[in-house]
């Protein structure tokens, strides 16, 4: 699949997709920005890119915003602290603030406090929580290669995860189905 890369208002690269996979600048919609959240291996990047293509809005994989120290720490199998995550989440929030009329970002957003930090930048943000059993996620991680995040951090992320609260804008979707079905389920249930 092809992607056009454009630099946004804050210097962050943004990919634009068309529904048929050809490259074009996305048509903006009045859609609220969406964060595709979940633990490592849940399919955030894959689902996020598919959702952005469907909506014809920009997509950002928030992993691209991690400072080198965070990437090195995760690659070494060390979980990030809240202090490690804070500046990264600020950059993600800035991206969301620049895409208030529509955009999709894949970001773990495991804790309510992290989601609140993103909402401080973009109060209308909606979350798509990709949930699955530890067995399903572990199986998916086993089939993934070339990613900086080792499967060993899955347990830590599952321990950290705080599912969406009843008063949070978002939808939780089971990942044990194909990507198109996940996107369809989100779009059918989102605001």
Domain boundaries, the chain: 28-189
* pLDDT tens digits, one per residue of 29-66: 448 999 999 998 899 999 999 999 999 999 999 999 99
Edge to edge, what strands does the sheet with 104-106 contain?
4-7, 13-16, 59-61, 104-106, 34-37, 126-131, 170-174
pLDDT over 60 at 2, yes or no: no
pLDDT in tens, 104-145: 999 999 999 999 999 999 999 999 999 999 888 888 777 655
Cα separation values, 87 from 18, 42, 83, 99, 104, Å:
31, 23, 8, 19, 19
Provide the pLDDT for residue 80: 85
Give the C-alpha separation, 132 to 24, whole Å: 33
pLDDT range class, residue 149, cuts 50, 70, 90: low
Write down the pLDDT at residue 180. Answer: 97
3-state secondary structure of 105: strand
Query: Domain 28-189 carries which CATH code?
Result: 3.40.50.300
pLDDT of 18: 44
Q: Which two tokens stand for residue 19?
A: 């529904």
């Amino acid at each position: 699949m092809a992607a056009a890369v454009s630099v946004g208002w804050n210097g962050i690269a943004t990919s634009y997709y068309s529904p048929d996979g050809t490259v074009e600048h996305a048509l903006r919609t009045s859609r609220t920005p969406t964060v595709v959240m979940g633990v490592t291996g849940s399919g955030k990047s894959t689902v996020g890119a598919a959702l952005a293509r469907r909506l014809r809005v920009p997509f950002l994989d928030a992993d691209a915003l991690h400072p080198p120290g965070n990437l090195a720490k995760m690659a070494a199998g060390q979980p990030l602290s809240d202090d490690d995550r804070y500046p990264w989440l600020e950059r993600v929030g800035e991206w969301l603030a620049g895409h208030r009329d529509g955009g999709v970002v894949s970001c773990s957003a495991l804790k309510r406090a992290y989601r609140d930090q993103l909402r401080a930048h973009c109060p209308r943000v909606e979350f798509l929580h990709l949930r699955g059993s530890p067995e399903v996620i572990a199986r998916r991680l086993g089939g993934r290669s070339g990613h900086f995040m080792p499967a060993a951090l899955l347990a830590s992320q599952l321990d950290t995860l705080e599912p969406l609260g009843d008063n949070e804008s978002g939808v939780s979707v089971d990942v044990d189905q194909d990507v198109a079905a996940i996107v369809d389920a989100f779009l059918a249930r989102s605001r």
